[in-house]
Amino acid sequence: MFIIMALHEEAESLSDKLEALLALMAQGDKDALAELYELTYPSVYGFAMSMSQTPHDAEDILQETFINAFNAADRYVPHGKPMAWLMTIAKNLARMRLRELGKTTHLPDEDWSCYLSDKQSVTSDERILLTKALELLSETEQQIVMLFAVSGLKHREIAQLLDLPLATVLSKYSRAIKKLKNEMEAE
């Protein structure tokens, strides 16, 4: 319980922090943007990965999300959900991208495993887990897992963001994490 409380408080203070940074960004403060980037890039990237066919797409979404956030910061209405706001931008970018790309097919798994094995900073456990997640989980499951585990969104926020019933989010999440757990234990 202490851990939960700590997490909870942490999440709240992160939200406060992000809102303060967005307020500064709204006035054109690029240092604030840099700080926001440092605090949130894993969250955005995780979600971007789950929505992208290739590492290249994910990188584009990551980049564009922050550019758009900077430009739209003055329209952010503070209501304690800056992370969800950021994710909505990422989602919309990904959807737009998907429409542009049309039905181009990729070999996503190959792309990702090449990308990940080239990344020196990624440990082998991490690589295995990420590869499994991208391989085995459905796109929605990936999104939910990333948004919860990496971005720290609440299930309710995820439901809203992805336009899914809360129950679906809950059940998909638990199924997905179980799948990953089993895979990792089998390794």
Footprint (CB under 8 A) of another protein, residues 138-177: 145-146, 148-150, 155-156, 160, 163, 165-168, 170-171, 173-175, 177
CB of 121 to another protein, least distance (A): 4
Binding status of residue 19 toward another protein by CB under 8 A: no
Binding mask 53-92 for another protein (x = CB under 8 A): --x---x--xxx-xxx-xxx--xx-------xxx-xx--x
Distance CA 149, CA 129 (A): 13
CB of 38 to another protein, least distance (A): 8
Distance CA 179, CA 172 (A): 10
CB of 12 to another protein, least distance (A): 12
Binding status of residue 2 toward another protein by CB under 8 A: yes
Identify which of residues 1 and 107 has a Cβ nearer to another protein in the complex.
1
**Owner of token pair 């990624």:** 122
Identify which of residues 53 and 148 has a Cβ nearer to another protein in the complex.
148
Identify which of residues 96 and 105 has a Cβ nearer to another protein in the complex.
96
Distance CA 109, CA 1 (A): 39
Which residues 94-113 are close enough to bind another protein by CB under 8 A? 96
Identify which of residues 16 and 174 has a Cβ nearer to another protein in the complex.
174
